[in-house]
Structure formats: C-alpha cells, structure tokens
Structure 1
Amino acid sequence: MPRRMANVEFRNYQWQHRFDDHIAPLNRLVDELCNGGKVPYIAPIYGGINSKMLSILRDPGPKTQIEDNGSGFLCLENDDATAEKMCELIAEAGIDVSEMVPWNAYPWYINRAPNAAEIKTGIDPLKKLIDLLPNLRVVILHGGAAHNCWKKFTRCFPNIAEERGLSIIETYHTSRQAFWHPDEEVREARRQHLRDSLRRAASILHETEMPNHRQQR
C-alpha cells in the first residue's frame, strides 16, 4: 500500500528496526557516508543484504529528509508521487520489496540533479554497497543520472557485471518529469518501457529466464 510513511506508527517502526540484522550493514554504510552530507537510511522493509535486485535512481527526494517532514528513509512507502509510482509498479511486476534494495547515483541529499563530478563521487559508495549484496542478480537503472553513474562505475570496475553474474537493465525514472512530452504516444511508450523493464527484472529474480541480459533505454 503506497505512502505508508505518512503513518506515524509505520514510520516509527521502520526507525526502530533500521539496524536489524538484514539491513544493519547497509545502514552502517549510510552512517559512514553521512560525514559528507545527508544520506537517508534504507528502510528495513527491504531485503538488505539478502536482496537480489538493486534499484538505482538519481538522488534522494525531500520526503527522505526528516527536516522536510519526511521519513528519513529511502522507501517506496514515502509520502511522495515518485515513491508511490514505484510502489505500484513493483507490485504490478510481481517483485516483493524484500527482494530488492534502493540506492541513488548521488546518495546525498541535494534536491537537484547531480552534476558529473557529483555522480563520480557516488561511485565509491555504490561499490561498497554492491560488495554488501552477495545475492545480487539484477541492477535496474532508472533515468539518465543512474545510466551515467553506471557507465562511470563500469569504467572503474569493468568486469563487475560478468564476475558477479549481474543483469543490467536501463529504463526510465518513475518521477513525473520522466514522462513530460507533448506526444501521448511517446509518454505511453516510456511508461510501457518502465513496466516491461520491471517485469524483465522479476523474471530474472524468479529464474524464469536466463540472466545477463542488458536492456537499453
């Protein structure tokens, strides 16, 4: 159910369990990164170290920030339209939230598009995160910043997808801006690409198709 972070009891439960065994290594990484700025925790509803899918978006939105009346978490239950859309699409694709973990090309809160230098800064945290995910099978890249981040990342670690057996899927961001276009057919094609990409991810997670497929945007 979308937007559950608007519920105080649900939000408090996430906060109390943010260092449960499955999620603690990831949120200790967040604490380490917070020395350089605001990085939201990863909500414990996710699979944490057991996750098979990594979902990378651009940067944390305002509703991840406690100071902006947000949750303090990366979570598809956050009280905003982007999270709500992701929640709906994940459910529609048949992916359980416990199978995945979210991240951002630039993990620090800036509330704007990260520049090239900032995306480069996100490479080391991304590598540390991936090293904490032994069961990872799919990396899904949402939007241009995530695509650029992965290109820079693979220049530093060119064999990581092959060595880890990862399927890399490029698609659109779930924000409304990703679908701003005067042509309704183009908008619908983008929405369908996003749905198809998540279904492709689900098929890999559930072993109905072979991994190591790369889908271009």
Structure 2
Amino acid sequence: MLPTSPRALRDPELRRRRVDEAKTVESVLELNRLVWRISRRERCEDRLPYLDPTYGGVNADVIVLLKAPQADADPRRGEGRLISLDNDDDVAAVLFDLFAELGIDRSRCVGWNICPYPTVGFDPNSDELSRGRGDFDAFLRLLTRPKAILVLGSAVRRGWLDHSFDELLGSEMRVVFGPSPYGIDRRRGARASLRESLLDAFERNADR
C-alpha cells in the first residue's frame, strides 16, 4: 500500500523495507545493479541512493530527471538512501503532492539524477556531467519503453543542453523542461509551471 501523505520515509522501518525491496524487485533490479556499479566506481560502494521499487523501473514511460543525490538522498546522511517520492525532503514532498493532485500513477515513471553521485559543488561541474552522461546512457538502455523525459531545474537543463544528452534519446522520445521543485513556493508562478510540465510529460504522453 502506498503512502497517502508525503515524507513517509522518515519512518526508519519503512525505509529499511524499501531498501531491501530495491535490491530484489524485478522492475528495478537491473537499474539498482547499475547504481551499485556506479557507487563502486565512485568509491562509495553501496551508498548511492537506489531507485524506489514503487516506481515503474524498467517499464516506466516517463523519466523524471533531477540534479544529484542531495537532501534525503545524500549518501552522507548514512545508509539506506533512495530516489523516491516518499523521501523526507522538500523536493520529494512537492512532487508527491503534485502527483496526488494530478492523479499521476507513480508506476508510470522512474527517477534518475543527471549526476547520480554527490557533486563537489551545489551544481554539477563539466567533468561530473560528462561522467553522468555515460551513466544516463547505460540507464536508458535498461528501460523497455521510455517515451518522455521531464528535465527539472535550470542546472539540469543547462547540463542536458551543454553535454548533448538529447543525442542519447530514441527518435520517439519527448523532452519536457520544467522548474526545480526546490524552493518552488518562493518563486512566483513556479508551482503552476511545474504542474504544467508534469501534465505535458505524463498526460499528453499517455496515448502515444
């Protein structure tokens, strides 16, 4: 049963169960094996955030692309990190609420970070983005039917464009740019813009 309110992973027992499932549920198993390999390369073995098994995993048709494992997903906060709508942070809470408001089924999507490891600065640098491009290519090859990617935030958009991530996509995939959920209510019109971006990526993609 899915949570009915945001920040559910503040419950350590739920977090423990989700992390265990992330390593066994078939839809995310190969994706999380990729995460493990990246963690080994980055010398933070088994500490990068795994993909939440409540996502659609390899069967997702929409990718939600964020910046890097920060806030509740930051490996420096300890073991058991996840990329999840149920994380105990503001970004996840904003997305949780908008998914609920718009009636979006989370099993239609999968999350990823343009840099799937901690960055030196608040935003990724060019070297980190170059490595992240290769990791995104490996991630994309594991998905069975991706149709759209929702690129969230100015830093992610800049990295996407500057490092030509679009060259990795199939001809049928759509790219939708939207604002970062971080601090969204401090920016005039940003919540409405994010809402429209979600509709564009999910609802206008539903019959494709």
The answer, yes or no, to whether TM exceeds 0.5 is yes
Aligned to 1:167: 174
* Partners of 1:138 and 1:204 within 8 A in 2: no
Aligned to 1:88: 97
C-alpha separation in 2, matches of 1:170 and 1:191: 14
What's the CA shift string for 1:55-76, capped at 9, x where partnerless? 1111111311465157411111
Q: 1:99 to 1:175 in 2, by over 3 A?
A: same
Aligned to 1:24: 29
Q: 1:88 to 1:70 in 2, by over 3 A?
A: farther
Give the deviation of 1:205 after TM superposition.
3.7
Q: Which amino acid aligns with 1:72?
A: R
Give the deviation of 1:49 after TM superposition.
0.6
User: For this pair of structures, how many residues does the alignment match?
Assistant: 198
Q: Which amino acid aligns with 2:59?
A: N
Give the deviation of 1:9 after TM superposition.
2.5
What's the CA shift string for 1:125-174, capped at 9, x where partnerless? 0011111112111100001222123224536x637241xx1110001010
Aligned to 1:199: 199
Aligned to 2:154: 144
Aligned to 2:17: 13
* Residue of structure 2 aligned with 1:116, choices 100, 107, 126: 126
Give the deviation of 1:13 after TM superposition.
1.4
C-alpha separation in 2, matches of 1:37 and 1:199: 38
SS of aligned partner of 1:122: helix
* Partners of 2:49 and 2:75 within 8 A in 1: no
C-alpha separation in 1, matches of 2:204 and 2:131: 30
SS of aligned partner of 1:197: helix
- Correspondence 1:128 to 2:138: yes
Q: 1:189 to 1:26 in 2, by over 3 A?
A: same
C-alpha separation in 2, matches of 1:151 and 1:46: 26
C-alpha separation in 2, matches of 1:34 and 1:159: 22
C-alpha separation in 2, matches of 1:143 and 1:167: 17
TM-score normalised to the size of structure 2?
A: 0.86
Aligned to 1:44: 53
What's the CA shift string for 1:44-102, capped at 9, x where partnerless? 11111111110111111131146515741111111111111111112222221111111
Q: Give the superposed CA RMSD.
A: 2.1
SS of aligned partner of 1:188: coil
